[in-house]
Amino acid sequence: MTENGLMESSQTEKLFYNNSHQKSFEATVLSCQKKEKYYEIVLDQTAFFPEGGGQYADTGYLGDAKVLDVQEQDGQILHRTDRELPVGEKVTGQLDWELRFMKMQQHTGEHIVSGIVHERYGYENVGFHLGNEDCTMDFNGEIPVEDLQEIEFRANQAVWENLKIQILYPSKEEEKEMTYRSKIEITGQVRVVIVPGYDACACCAPHVDFTGEIGLIKLVGMQRYKGGVRVTMLCGGRAMADYALKQKQAKEISAMLCAKENELTDAVAHLQKELAEKKTELAEKEQELIRCKAEQIPESEQIVCIFPEGIQGDSLRILMNAVLEKNRKLCAVFSGNDAAGYRYVIGSRDVDVRNMAKELNAAFEGRGGGRPEMVQGTVRGTEEELQNWILRKAEEL
**Which burial class, exposed, middle or buried, applies to 241 when counting CB atoms under 10 A from its CB (0-12, 13-18, 19+)?**
exposed
Quick one: pLDDT at residue 286? 81
Quick one: pLDDT at residue 2? 46
Identify the CATH assignment for 101-244 out of 3.40.50.720, 3.30.2350.10, 3.30.980.10, 3.90.1150.200.
Answer: 3.30.980.10
pTM of the model: 0.72
DSSP structure class, residue 311: -
Is residue 86 within 8 A of residue 77, CB to CB? The reply is no
Alpha-carbon gap, residue 269 to 76, rounded angstroms = 59
Quick one: pLDDT at residue 6? 39
Alpha-carbon gap, residue 378 to 345, rounded angstroms = 9
**Which burial class, exposed, middle or buried, applies to 349 when counting CB atoms under 10 A from its CB (0-12, 13-18, 19+)?**
middle
pLDDT along the chain (397 residues), means of 10: 43 91 95 92 95 88 96 90 94 96 96 96 92 93 95 98 95 83 72 94 93 97 94 96 92 86 86 90 84 81 88 86 88 93 93 93 94 94 94 84
User: What's the CA angle centered on 220, arms 214 and 226, to 5 degrees?
Assistant: 110
Identify the helix (H) or strand (E) that includes residue 376: strand 374-379
C-alpha closest to that of 383 among 344, 347, 354, 346: 344
Strand 76-81 with 45-46, pairing: unpaired
Quick one: pLDDT at residue 181? 83
How many helices and strands, by DSSP H and E, does the chain display? 9, 20
Beta sheet of 330-337, edge-to-edge order: 303-306, 330-337, 341-347, 374-379, 367-371
Is residue 257 within 8 A of residue 249, CB to CB? The reply is no
Domains 13-95 and 294-396 share a fold: no
Classify 145 as helix, strand or coil: helix
Alpha-carbon gap, residue 196 to 166, rounded angstroms = 8
C-alpha closest to that of 55 among 69, 65, 41, 38: 69
Quick one: pLDDT at residue 187? 65
Give 338-349 as a DSSP string: TTTEEEEEEE-S
Helix segments in the chain, DSSP class H: 15-18, 97-121, 148-160, 172-176, 236-257, 264-295, 315-324, 354-363, 383-396
Domain ranges in the chain are 13-95, 101-244, 294-396
Identify the helix (H) or strand (E) that includes residue 48: none
Alpha-carbon gap, residue 118 to 151, rounded angstroms = 11
Backbone angles phi, psi at 74, to 5 degrees: 55, 40
- pLDDT tens sequence across 344-363: 999 998 899 999 999 999 99
Q: 294-396 domain in CATH 3.65.10.10?
A: no
Quick one: pLDDT at residue 3? 46
Q: 13-95 domain in CATH 2.40.30.130?
A: yes
Looking from the CA of 258 toward its CB, the CA atoms found within 13 Å total: 2
